Structure 1
Amino acid sequence: MLTLVIGGAASGKSAYAESLCLRAPLPRTYLATMQVWDAECAARVAKHRAMRAEKQFTTVECPLHLDRVALPRRGTVLLEDLGNLVANELYDPDGAGAETAAAILRGIDKMLLQCDNLIVVSNEVFSGGADYAGDTDRYLRALAAVNNAAAARADRVVRVVCGIPVYYKGSEGP
């Protein structure tokens, strides 16, 4: 089952996605997309790893190339988040570049073959009303392509607003 959880900054989307994972069958894998640039990032990653370990998550670092990840076991996977992954693939010299959306979607398809439940967190960044150019527009278009295709593939699509989940496709269920 694929669940797409979207929401704006500090909307509660990550907490909601995690709550879905905690209700799903074990084992739990957390696919972390943040790139570690410095000591501050490394400390943040260490803190989050410890918090997830308490909740029985195994963390797999995946800042690039989701389609190359082999999961350690089936069960429930939380992919956090598509916004980071899109930026990494677009701008890292080793990333997918112009093929970012296609590469990430291949990765999602591969994850679905390796797990029972895939819960994907993404950012809702499209309601700002501004007309962007250059790299920002390129990023937004790539993220929109991934979000739209993931939503089409998903069994459930939920947007979290002010901590409140609103289902657009499927239902909360077990």
Structure 2
Amino acid sequence: MMTLIIGGSGSGKSSYAEDYIATCSKDSRKYYIATMQVFDKEGQAKVEKHQKMRENKGFHAIEQPISIGKVLEKTGDTPVSESTALLECISNLVANEMFFGNEPKEIKRITEKIIREVEQLNKSFKHLVIVTNNIFEDGMIYDETTMDYIQAMADINKKLAMMADKVIEIVVGIPVVLKEGK
């Protein structure tokens, strides 16, 4: 089963996702797939905040800023088919994939790669919860590279929503179920 949780910055989506996965996982092993790369003090503070939020929640953290399909190589001997995973978050993953190396990558390739790897995780874990950002409501026009990123996020979020069994939007801390069942 796959659940997509979407919301704006500071909406409470991460906290909600962690509580949500606790109800899904029951006694099964829980993985936290962290995609953020730390580049500065602000990023480090955000990572520390999220680590503190999930402290004592029983997550096994896997740092995987790119190529999330490789997560399966890092789960050890535990069969993941009975485990749950929280992928936090798609916006970091897209940025990391697009800007890994010297030049931005072509968005169609990045979109296809991320979707393919999410499908792989979804088939492997009993329950996959994915957090993503709603970055589409400011109405601004940006430079070409930023617009490519926004387009990639739009394409990926649409495909994930279609794949998901459940889609929940967090609006000012309130979960709104947008989709229940395929």
The match for 1:160 is: 170
One of 112, 116, 120 as aligned partner of 1:106: 116
The match for 2:5 is: 5
One of 138, 149, 160 as aligned partner of 1:128: 138
1:22-171 aligned at under 5 Å gives the runs 22-25=22-25, 26-38=28-40, 41-42=43-44, 45=47, 48-49=50-51, 51-70=53-72, 72=75, 73=78, 74=80, 75-93=83-101, 97-98=105-106, 99-170=109-180
Q: Deviations over 1:37-91 (max 9, x none)?
A: 2566456545644653410000001100112221514211000000100000001
Provide the identity percentage. Answer: 38
Deviation at 1:19, TM superposition (A): 1.1
Alpha carbons of structure 1 residues 164 and 45: separation in structure 2 relative to 1, 3 Å: closer
Moved more, 153-162 or 18-27: 18-27
Gaps of 5+ in 2: none
Is the CA contact (8 Å cut-off) linking 2:18 and 2:54 kept in structure 1? no
- Distance across 2 between alignment mates of 1:169 and 1:157: 5
How many residues are aligned here? 171
Which SS does the other structure have where 2:112 is aligned? helix
- Distance across 1 between alignment mates of 2:142 and 2:91: 17
The list of structure 1 runs, each at least 4 consecutive aligned residues, that deviate by more than 3 angstroms after superposition, is 38-51
Alpha carbons of structure 1 residues 169 and 96: separation in structure 2 relative to 1, 3 Å: farther
Normalised by the length of structure 1, the TM-score is 0.89
Which SS does the other structure have where 1:24 is aligned? helix
Alpha carbons of structure 1 residues 49 and 12: separation in structure 2 relative to 1, 3 Å: closer
Moved more, 34-43 or 80-89: 34-43
Which SS does the other structure have where 2:11 is aligned? coil
Gaps of 5+ in 1: none
Alpha carbons of structure 1 residues 24 and 89: separation in structure 2 relative to 1, 3 Å: same
- Distance across 2 between alignment mates of 1:154 and 1:92: 27
Which SS does the other structure have where 1:69 is aligned? helix
